[in-house]
Chain A
Amino acid sequence: MSRPLVVTRVVGALAGAVLAVGLGLAFFVVPPDAVQGEVQRIMYLHLGAVAAAYFAFFVTLLASVRYLWKRDLRADAVAVASAEVGVLFTGVVLASGSIWGKSTWGVWWTWDARLTLTAITFTIYVGYLMLRAFAEEPQAAARYGAVLGVLGFLAIPLNHFAVQWWRTLHQPSSIIRAGGPSMDPFMLTVVLVNVCGMLLLYGYLLLERFRLERIRHQTLQLRLTRGRRG
Chain B
Amino acid sequence: MHTLITRRTILCLTAAACALAATARSSAFAQTSGADGFIKTFSDDLVAIVNGPDPAAQKKAALGPVIDRDVDVAAVARFCLGRFWADASPAQRTEYVTLFHHVLLNNISGHLGDYRGVSYTLTGDSAQGANTLVGSTITRPNQPPINVQWVVDTTGTPKVVDVIAEGTSMRVTTRSDYASYLSQHGDNIDALIAALHRQLDSTS
Q: Do A and B bind each other?
A: no
Chain A residues within 8 Å of B, Cβ to Cβ: none
Chain B residues within 8 Å of A, Cβ to Cβ: none
